[in-house]
Amino acid sequence: MTQEQNNENFSFKKYAWNQFKKNKIALVCLYLLFTLVIVALFAPYIANERPLYAQYKGYTLYPAFASDNQTDSIFGTSGTLEDVLQYDITDWRSLDLDKVIWPLIPYSPGGMDRYNRDYVSPNGKQRFKNAEGLITDVPKKFRHHLGTDGIGRDLASGLIHGTRISLMVGLVSMGIASLIGIFLGALAGFFGDNKLKMTRIRYYFTLIGIFFGFFYGFGQRKYAISEGFSNGINSGMIELIISFTLIFVVVYLFRFISKFITLKSLNKEMYIPIDTFVSRGIELLNSIPRLLLIITITAVVERSIWIVMIIIGITGWTGIARFTRAEFLRIRSLEFVQAAQSLGFSNLRTIFKHALPNALAPVFVSIAFGIASAILIESGLSFLGIGVPDDIVTWGSLLNLGRQNLEAWWLIIYPGIAIFLTITIYNMIAEASRDALDPRLKS
């Protein structure tokens, strides 16, 4: 290690990566995670009831890559209209295709195979309707290799598309949680209780500004926001961003005005106990059982996977905030931060450009553990059928189907292993990177 440190090109990142690589199990987990990400990214091309490539009556089609509402008219050689292919409802299996390349699993997660309903076992007898319209034994290509559920949905396809949701839950919810947690933790740790100074007038005007900001940003725009969300998640997000910008503008405006008020009694400086605020907030959120809080909120709001992710995110930032705060408490008295301050850099620049990159290592570990618990919570919720809509196939909801029908062991084993593996992967990576990033914490 001394040799490494003496090396001119020594960097902490390289050192941590070398440490991480020493843990072989964690390395395997990292590769598995990459595999999961690839499966999630290409899920529609791995499991889809539409072929990747097909030749039908002289037409070359790429159905799996087309959008759901695409429609193709097929004309015969004499120019007569022979067939209209409406992509989302066409049964491609029954078409007489000249040439075809099927995805690895030729079923969609929601597609119901009516010849294999009522929990068809992976190794049991499966039926298939061939191009001539006869019911036969299933050809190897169209076997449900992991079985089906009660309404004939393919389990393998459900698992592959469930990967998407699972990873998305981890990403979105922990993205939100880290934004909140890092921001609040950094403020609390950097300023503490007696470092953020403000003149009184500025403080009061900021408070008034926050009031007016919320009044204009949310109170006055609540109809615009709800209308935006009813038009779709994108327009809703845009409305939300407008609202947040408005809040910032209003607060800034009030702070700006306060500069021009020069009353002697109001220009005394005071300390903002920002650390106390944040710590009390963390304590409050920690004193509410998280699962119960999430369940209570999901019971009141509309059922949507996005809302579940957001709720998991806004209830899960406390750990990240605590780690960030602790790191900042340590860092703020180090030389480089003091140097930055004595050079006259603004507080924000010092925090986010100089201090934050040095505080991220333990936060990263906390995020990785957080992703595991977010996935666990989401699968628990969909296992109970709370919060996540019924038509979305997730690992948890598949496991729930298995619980209701214990004979369908494949609906218990495979989704359960999927959940278990993902959580283990994240936990293992988190542990290994904790050991690699901070050897003192090694256990």
Which residues in this chain contact another protein in the complex, by CB under 8 A?
211-212, 215-216, 219-220, 223, 280, 283-284, 287-289, 291-293, 295-297, 299-300, 372, 376, 379-380, 383-384, 386, 399, 402-403, 406-407, 409, 412-413, 416, 419-420, 423-424, 427-428, 431, 443
Q: Which is nearer to another protein, 22 or 197 (CB)?
A: 22
Smallest distance, another protein to C-beta of residue 299, A: 5
d(CA 422, CA 402): 19
Smallest distance, another protein to C-beta of residue 279, A: 12
Task: Work out the widest C-alpha separation in the chain, in whole angstroms.
Answer: 94
Specify the amino acid at residue 50.
R
Smallest distance, another protein to C-beta of residue 256, A: 19
CB 258 within 8 A of CB 207: no
Q: Left if phi > 0, otherwise alpha if psi is -120 to 50, otherwise beta: which for 11?
A: beta
Smallest distance, another protein to C-beta of residue 64, A: 32
Helical (H) or strand (E) element with 73: strand 71-75
Q: Which is nearer to another protein, 42 or 212 (CB)?
A: 212
> Residues of 219-238 as b/e, b for ≥16 C-beta within 10 angstroms?
eebeeebeebbeeeeeebee
- What is the DSSP-derived secondary structure letter of residue 105? B
Smallest distance, another protein to C-beta of residue 419, A: 6
For residue 227, give every residue at least 6 positions away whose Cβ sits within 8 Å of its Cβ, in sequence order, or none: 239
Smallest distance, another protein to C-beta of residue 143, A: 22
Residue 158 — φ and ψ, nearest 5°?
-60, -40
Residue 170 — φ and ψ, nearest 5°?
-60, -45
SS (H, E, C) 184-204: HHHHHHHHCCCCCEEEHHHHH
Q: Which is nearer to another protein, 80 or 443 (CB)?
A: 443
Q: Which is nearer to another protein, 131 or 291 (CB)?
A: 291
Q: Which is nearer to another protein, 175 or 281 (CB)?
A: 281
Smallest distance, another protein to C-beta of residue 135, A: 27
d(CA 95, CA 430): 49
Q: Which is nearer to another protein, 1 or 406 (CB)?
A: 406
Q: Which is nearer to another protein, 58 or 124 (CB)?
A: 124
Q: 247-252: list long-range contacts, CB under 8 Å, 24+ apart.
A: 247/210, 247/213, 247/214, 247/216, 247/217, 247/218, 248/213, 249/213, 250/209, 250/212, 250/213, 250/216, 250/217, 251/206, 251/209, 251/210, 251/213, 252/209
Q: Which is nearer to another protein, 38 or 301 (CB)?
A: 301
Smallest distance, another protein to C-beta of residue 180, A: 17
